[in-house]
């Protein structure tokens, strides 16, 4: 019988005063003219199907005629605030093509398609209900992943930029089987690194539809990068396996690719590389990281049951007693990151002494 990794639905955690202050200091808290609750006042909806006529679990919503102009105008202003300085000169060239509402998952976001009418280029922004654990996840992604991420928060509303790429489940189904040997080896390497990165920073629920594959064309080949797009499960679950993408059945084809294309020594090498990179990023982002982790240590973003389960799993995994003494998920994460940093520094000191 397959092990159930995820627990019941995660609640939304409010933003406390310290996190609110942090967001303001980092220019993440900016006043916006529309809120998540405003978009919930839609008059009706129709199902959105993909190119294969399958239900996408998104619905396209529409609003009463007297409300639609104000909502669309406000969303265009939000777009300019997120992507520039909020200057309204460009508003006349923007159009809101569609507002979609997701009926699946915890956050139930709105996806807004914004198009420049001068050239038909378009992108998306996402409007979500603000959740402290998701915000911690976004900030940690910004600091510790290879990617920068753009978002803003105001009161109970979170605005996120769109992260472009091929959905992981689509890539696994439609692209992975046809890749050549070299490309499969390269995506295997990236999955090992992605798996290690999620585990170290305790980002959970990276099932294949919660990350994207980004093909990057080099001069003689295509490289593939893996990037998380959902940060709802930052430090919430109690099972350590939730923070290891390899254990989700949706990712088993990727795991098979790793096992078929990489030798154990290569896998270990890529894990060490990712740990070293994370340790360097911790050191390079020390001030911002220390402020954020202090907020997180004093915040509640999970249940007591999950906290006790995860800290025991991590103690058994590392034999570091600090995990057992952790009294919040923030303290668990702090201990995990300090463990990574300490081991990286010890290895480098040993190299200096041996040299």
Tens of pLDDT, residue by residue over 235-287, are 999 999 999 999 999 999 999 999 999 999 999 999 999 999 999 999 899 99
Helix axes 132-144, 17-25, angle to 10 degrees: 40
CB 191 within 8 A of CB 265: no
The percent of residues above 90 in pLDDT, for the chain, comes to 85
Query: 3: pLDDT confidence band, cut at 50, 70 and 90?
Result: low
| Distance (Å) of CA 38 to CA 19, 157, 239, 263, 285 | 24, 10, 36, 53, 36
Rounded to whole angstroms, how far apart are CA atoms 122 and 111? 13
The pLDDT value given to residue 46: 96
The pLDDT value given to residue 99: 98
Kindly state the DSSP code that residue 161 receives in the 8-state scheme. Answer: E
Kindly state the DSSP code that residue 203 receives in the 8-state scheme. Answer: B
Q: What is the dihedral of CA 264, 265, 269, 271, to 10 degrees?
A: 20
Query: 348: pLDDT confidence band, cut at 50, 70 and 90?
Result: low
> For residue 113, what are the β-bridge partners?
98, 124
| Model pLDDT for residues 155-182, shown as the tens digit of each residue | 999 999 999 999 999 999 999 999 999 9
CB 76 within 8 A of CB 96: yes
The pLDDT value given to residue 106: 76
The pLDDT value given to residue 353: 44
> For residue 58, what are the β-bridge partners?
102
Neighbours of 16 (CB within 10 A): 14
Neighbour-count burial of 118, counting CB atoms closer than 10 A to its CB (0-12 exposed, 13-18 middle, 19+ buried): exposed
What count of residues does the chain have? 355
Rounded to whole angstroms, how far apart are CA atoms 144 and 141? 5
For the cut 60, the answer to whether the pLDDT of residue 56 exceeds it is yes
Q: Which helix (H) or strand (E) holds 335?
A: helix 329-354
Mean predicted confidence (pLDDT) in 95-109: 90
Rounded to whole angstroms, how far apart are CA atoms 135 and 112? 20
CB 320 within 8 A of CB 292: no
For the cut 70, the answer to whether the pLDDT of residue 7 exceeds it is no
CB 311 within 8 A of CB 345: no
Mean predicted confidence (pLDDT) in 323-347: 89
Write out the two tokens for 216: 């990057």
CB 235 within 8 A of CB 133: yes
CB 113 within 8 A of CB 96: yes
The pLDDT value given to residue 344: 75
Closest CA to 274 of 126, 125, 144: 144
| Model pLDDT for residues 284-300, shown as the tens digit of each residue | 999 999 999 999 999 99
The pLDDT value given to residue 84: 87
Taking the whole predicted model, whether its pTM rises above 0.75 is answered as yes
């Amino acid at each position: 019988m397959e092990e159930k990794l995820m627990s019941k639905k995660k609640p939304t955690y409010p933003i406390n005063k310290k996190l609110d202050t942090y967001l303001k200091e980092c220019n993440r808290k900016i006043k916006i003219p529309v809120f998540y609750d405003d978009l919930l006042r839609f008059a009706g909806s129709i199902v959105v199907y993909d190119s294969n006529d399958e239900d996408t679990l998104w619905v396209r919503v529409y609003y009463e005629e007297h409300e639609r102009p104000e909502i669309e105008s406000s969303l265009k202003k939000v777009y300019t605030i997120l992507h520039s300085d909020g200057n309204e000169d460009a508003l006349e060239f923007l159009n809101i093509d569609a507002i979609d509402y997701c009926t699946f998952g915890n956050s139930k976001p709105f996806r807004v398609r914004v198009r420049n009418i001068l050239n038909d280029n378009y992108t998306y922004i996402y409007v979500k209900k603000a959740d402290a654990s998701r915000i911690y996840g976004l900030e940690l992604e910004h600091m510790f992943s290879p990617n920068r991420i753009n978002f803003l928060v105001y009161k109970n509303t979170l605005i996120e930029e769109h992260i472009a790429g091929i959905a992981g489940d689509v890539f696994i189904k439609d692209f992975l089987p046809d890749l050549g040997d070299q490309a499969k080896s390269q995506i295997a390497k990236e999955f090992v690194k992605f798996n290690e990165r999620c585990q170290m920073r305790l980002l959970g629920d990276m099932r294949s539809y919660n990350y994207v594959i980004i093909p990057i064309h080099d001069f003689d080949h295509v490289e593939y990068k893996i990037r998380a797009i959902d940060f709802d499960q930052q430090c919430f679950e109690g099972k350590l396996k939730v923070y290891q993408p390899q254990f989700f059945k949706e990712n088993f084809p990727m795991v098979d690719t790793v096992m078929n294309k990489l030798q154990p020594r290569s896998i270990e090498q890529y894990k060490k590389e990712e740990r070293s990179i994370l340790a360097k990023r911790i050191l390079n982002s020390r001030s911002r990281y220390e402020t954020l982790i202090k907020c997180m240590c004093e915040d509640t973003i999970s249940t007591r049951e999950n906290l006790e389960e995860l800290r025991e799993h991590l103690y058994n995994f590392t034999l570091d007693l600090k995990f057992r003494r952790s009294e919040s998920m923030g303290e668990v994460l702090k201990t995990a990151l300090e463990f990574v940093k300490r081991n990286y520094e010890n290895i480098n000191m040993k190299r200096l002494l041996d040299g």
